Structure 1
């Protein structure tokens, strides 16, 4: 059942076409129309803490909101599903089962030295660059560092971006392949636009498709090299390869997962780091509080690790506030309402409707956060505030680790 006649507010053209200036245009629509807005004839956008729970959280005895066909495109889509692209709940649960070990606390502790080594190289290079130049492009360096780290974890080898100070050719291909996914989603919604684009820009579309194929081929090559390594190193693939025979995992299936790890774990992390660095530089008082917490908690640089920083309340608050103001994953992740319909944010929504909670529209709403445009880590410390903290979710999960 479609919802074109379902009485939900939105711009008049929202019932006939989808405007794509996300995420800030969607934020403006919610500011004008409220917590639920029609953004397409059969698609509703929400921006509340309750809508996060209603749409994405699993509830015993209730049907799951499955992923929409938005997930059908992307890398390796024609050959294998990944933990991100798979839509079938049972298949997704099976993937979570054999991927969970790779992201357990024990596994992450075993892999931590790989991250620490890359961070040490990063700090050293930033120091060298800072001495030679009046300023550096910290966003570029964050991207080089996060791609090096995720390359080491996902494929057993670094891309050496920190060492060279330049972007590995494959990294730019990864970014371009994401554009292909965005275009595929657009063309699916508007077939006529797709036909016009292919006619007017045939060379550009061909180039994007070629970039996607190169990304897939290079990913397969890296995965097969890692599979053929005789090593006792601990990385993401260590645990996955242990399930290879029992779960009949093909090389292309493993490559699809590895591609997800790179895309989800690199640029998003660099985005969060860039945002947090920006706001700390703009707010020296907050930076001073954070520096004091860290410097009074450790006697040496070597003491700083995942376990020892877990108790630093203000550090956690700074990170959460940065991701609230600039969500690393700014676009909504659409779901389909179960056939029997469901209640979302107090509204009965007919089955088959596409729904989502928009991350930025939720985290930057004045209905959810006092002074939402003010960088204020203190809102995450203590309990004396009226903010709806659960309205800000990084990667669908409320302040927890995420596996798609």
Structure 2
């Protein structure tokens, strides 16, 4: 018996390391086979080798952003994920009759854990219903106060610059732009401004917290494992923004929910604004709150990017700046616009150079440049002779699309508004269609596009009409990094009043 026990003990001692080694070997084989299977899925498309085996390649680039080697489009950046800079492919995926659908990327844009917004839902029927109910609020068709509300906030930003920064004081146009767009957003969406411009301060440290928040959002939308972890109950309890927070996104959500609650209370406040429009169309209180969370993130950061970058590029390009100022001055003398009131959006559409400046700013710094991947339909699809198998995800590289030399020429990287004026009619249409494709089309068209364009045209025109602008320190570069949006600071300018 003693010998038997001794023998059993020896076998047990021998088996433990052997079993561990076998398990490790099996795991390694599983991973290698999985990587090989992944590699073969879309092997006809070029891309980094490791991207064809695993999503770890894009995860690494999310953690450590860097410039990448130029590759032929579409480029493979994941086992089933391609990315394109071809506007024709983007338009094909977005076409009304297209069978391409939203991928899991959009699940990460579910900012309210209780339910989807119009941007995050992947249910085609639900998405169509929400768009039908909300479109009249976004395009201004059913809201008479939309343009006057924007005018009031433009008056605020002009007063802020005149009162606080006119005595040769340096202002960070990135920070002022953020304050402005947040107050415009809250006025349009919730009926009153957050108050950033009145305080001239980063309320609740929201701007300060944006960098880390957008970094996390990039990981969430790009990686299903991170998305699953973040949406789990324990992470929602520990790490998600809450209305009880004192800083960051939480107080903004509390502000929005309070505004929504006032419309659904025992004595509901009735207003003919965007929120009132949503309620009139039958959106529930919780759905209105979900849309509010989306508006705070997508509605302000996107417009901020275009506004601050266009102004900074314009001031840094003296010829372009002088041309725009001259056009505005001549338009005022010709009676095209009023000399005392804020310029009307309809009036801005008569100003060729202003439009060229704004489209050139959008082209060089597209606003929300996440992957926005779409999923190939059952049976696959062929676009321009290229077959994409069923389940292929196609992402969009907005920056490469908008700076494609094949479309915009060898100087595509330069800020040159004249390209939109000098080009012949056919080329202008191609320019416009290419840049416009980043806003989507058809059922995927960005609902906030009309508001953003109105805001940009009117605001840039008024900033140039009321002030002479100059670089505060031309030798100093700006601070910039990108996680789904451009996050910039130290875009320092000096504004000198031209009129009272």
Pick the TM interval, shorter chain. 0.7 to 0.9
Shift of residue 267, structure 1, vs aligned partner:
1.4
- Structure 2: where are the runs of 5+ without partners? 1-36, 243-247, 333-337, 449-500
User: 2: CA distance between counterparts of 1:100 and 1:276?
Assistant: 27
User: Cα deviation per residue 1:226-263 (whole Å; 9 max; x = unaligned)?
Assistant: 4447555432112111112xxxx321111111222222
Deviations, residues 178-217 of structure 1 (Å, cap 9, x unaligned): 444333235525799x79xx9xxx99x9445556666655
Question: CA 1:108–1:26 in structure 2 vs 1: closer, same or farther (change >3 Å)?
Answer: farther
Q: Is 1:403 equivalent to 2:439 in the alignment?
A: no
Whether 2:396 is the aligned partner of 1:357: answer yes
Distance 1:157 1:206, change over 3 A: same
Which position in structure 1 is the counterpart of 2:435? 392
Q: 1:273 aligns with which of 275, 293, 307?
A: 307
Verify the 8 A CA contact 1:49 1:362 in the aligned structure 2: yes
Which secondary structure state, in structure 1, belongs to the residue aligned with residue 382 of structure 2? strand
- The offset of 1:220, in angstroms, is 2.4
Q: Is the 8 A contact 1:173 1:212 kept in 2?
A: no
Cα distance, 1:353–1:214 mapped onto 2, change above 3 Å: farther
Gaps of 5+ in 1: none
**1:14 is matched with which residue?**
51
Question: 2:272 maps to which residue?
Answer: 234
Aligned pairs, number = 388
Q: 2:163 aligned with 1:138, yes or no?
A: no
Q: Does 1:51 align with 2:95?
A: no
Relative to structure 1, is the Cα distance of residues 335 and 188 closer, same or farther in structure 2, using a 3 angstrom cutoff? same
1:368-396 Cα distance to aligned partner (Å, 9 max, x none):
32111111112222543858413323422
Shift of 1:309: 1.1
Matches within 5 A, 1:101-250: 101-107=136-142, 109-132=144-167, 134-169=169-204, 171-172=206-207, 175=210, 177-189=213-225, 206-208=238-240, 216-228=253-265, 233-244=271-282, 249-250=283-284
Q: Distance in 2 between matches of 1:184 and 1:213?
A: 18
User: Secondary structure of 1:330's partner?
Assistant: coil
1:312 and 2:344 aligned = no
Q: Secondary structure at the match of 2:408?
A: coil
Where do residues 235-384 of structure 1 align in structure 2 (5 Å cutoff)? 235-244=273-282, 249-298=283-332, 299-302=338-341, 304-370=343-409, 371-381=411-421, 383-384=423-424
What TM-score do you get using the length of structure 2 for normalisation?
Answer: 0.69
Secondary structure of the equivalent of 2:82?
A: strand
Equivalent in the alignment of 2:105: 70
Partners of 1:26 and 1:174 lie apart in 2 by: 22
Does the 8 A contact of 1:325 with 1:360 survive in 2? yes
Out of 33, 36, 42, the residue aligned to residue 80 of structure 2 is 42
Root-mean-square deviation (CA, aligned residues, Å) is 3.4
SS of 1:381 mapped into structure 2? helix
Aligned-residue offset at 1:109 = 4.6
Of 89, 101, 118, the residue aligned with 2:124 is 89
**Cα deviation code 1:299-318 (max 9, x no counterpart):** 40416111211221211111
Range moving further from structure 2, 86-95 or 101-110: 101-110
The worse-fitting range, judged by mean Cα deviation, of 285-294 and 378-387 is 378-387
Distance 1:209 1:104, change over 3 A: closer
Q: TM-score, normalised by structure 1?
A: 0.85
Change (3 A) 1:342 1:45: same
- 1:25-60: per-residue Cα shift (whole Å, max 9, x none)? 79744x3x212100000000010121111222223x
Contact 1:52 1:391 in 2 (8 A): no
**Is the alpha carbon distance of 1:26 and 1:227 closer, same or farther for their aligned partners in structure 2, counting shifts above 3 Å?**
farther
**Partners of 2:392 and 2:281 in 1: how far apart?**
37
Instruction: State the alpha-carbon separation in 1 of the partners of residues 440 and 397 from structure 2.
Output: 10
Q: Deviations over 1:302-348 (max 9, x none)?
A: 16111211221211111111010011112221110001211234311
Instruction: Name which structure has the greater RCO, CA cutoff 8 Å, separation 6+.
Output: 1
**C-alpha separation between the residues in 2 aligned to 1:266 and 1:329?**
10
Q: Secondary structure of the equivalent of 1:106?
A: coil
Question: SS of 1:356's equivalent?
Answer: strand
